[in-house]
Structure 1
Amino acid sequence: MQNPTTTTLGYALSVTRWLQAPLYFGLVTAQGVYVYTFFKELWTLILICVSGHATETYVMLAVLKLVDVVMIANLLITAIVGISSVHLLQMFVDVHHTSHHARAWEIPGVACMHARPHPNG
């Protein structure tokens, strides 16, 4: 039998993840802003190159700006997927029947793969 204090504390910590939901939606919104920024910068680069006004330095800096936007967007995707996979794992896998040691060291994506039944049996 579990200690009531431990159970209450665990439940309280589990419920507080919903306080972070607005932050996650903010990350998704920021991802949308970066997609818009990427296409705006790409379109500007294309227009300047087609018009013949692009210098080598301008093209290099514009491409570096595009790379920067993509790298930040990838970081946002990593954060969003990592956070959501942990919460989905907690929602869809019976964590009470998994050892604490196994839960503590599993990578969320790998843990999700282990949670599904194997197609061959």
Structure 2
Amino acid sequence: MERLIERSLFASRWMMAPMYLGLAAALAILVWVFLRELWAFVLIVPVITVNDAILGVLALIDLSLAANLLMIVIFSGYENFVSRMELDQEKDRPEWQGEVDFSGLKLKLVASIVAISGIHLLKVFMDVSKYTAEQMRWMVIIHLVFVISGVLLAAMDWIASNAKIRKKAATLPVD
């Protein structure tokens, strides 16, 4: 009975596969939005101002970072929780694929969120007249919460990995 339960629980990881396929569909939606933004940006090039150029580029970077974030979640999540991708022969395979554990995935996610938040905040500062002081204050506070959360998460992972190293070193036989 125990073996049957364990095998069933282990097989249940495949229920995550449709979620990763859904994230791939979300990536296609981001590509569509990126292309629409790029087209709108190209159309205003003849009359573009410096601020509009910077805002347009930041919007494209923002979408690109969101897409990168999705790829990290799709690849790492699938490999960590569902199954290894047998793509060793692929010369275009990202170096980090298959190397990012759950801890690394969390750090990459937080770093991406901080970068996206920072770019959004920069876009707000480039067009400050559209926002009230209260809205800007909350955007800065939210960004700082993301930054502080990222630093604390990195510190917790550093502490945990050092504790593992110390524990391992303590169990090694002394010659």
TM class, shorter-length: 0.5 to 0.7
Q: 1:109 Cα shift?
A: 1.4
Deviations 1:27-65 (A, max 9, x none): 00000011111111111111110xx22111111111111
**Residue 21 of structure 2 corresponds to which residue in structure 1?**
25
1:13 and 1:82 map into 2 onto residues whose CA distance is 20
Question: Identity over aligned residues, as a percent?
Answer: 32
The equivalent of 2:83 in structure 1 is 88
- In structure 2, list runs of 5 or more residues that go unmatched: 87-95, 101-175
Q: Give the structure 1 partner of residue 53 of structure 2.
A: 59
Cα deviation, residue 108, structure 1: 6.8
Output one character per residue of 1:68-100: Cα deviation in whole Å (capped at 9) or x when no partner: 1000100110111112323333x97xxxxxxxx
Displacement of 1:110 in angstroms is: 4.2
Please say if residues 17 and 78 of structure 2, whose CA atoms lie closer than 8 Å, have aligned partners that are also in contact: no
1:73-84 paired onto structure 2 within 5 Å: 73-84=67-78
Equivalent residue, structure 2, for 1:13: 9
Most deviating of 66-75 and 38-47:
38-47
1:36 is matched with 32
Flag structure 1 segments of 5+ consecutive residues without an equivalent.
Answer: 93-106, 112-121
Residues matched between the structures, number: 90
Contact 2:20 2:74 (C-alpha < 8 Å) held by counterparts? yes
Amino acid of the structure 2 residue aligned with 1:57: N
Moved over 4 A (4+): none
Q: Which has the higher contact order (CA 8 A, sep 6+)?
A: 1
Whole-angstrom CA distance in 1 between matches of 2:14 and 2:56: 39
TM-score (normalizing by structure 2): 0.45
Distance 1:34 1:81, change over 3 A: same
Aligned to 1:115: none
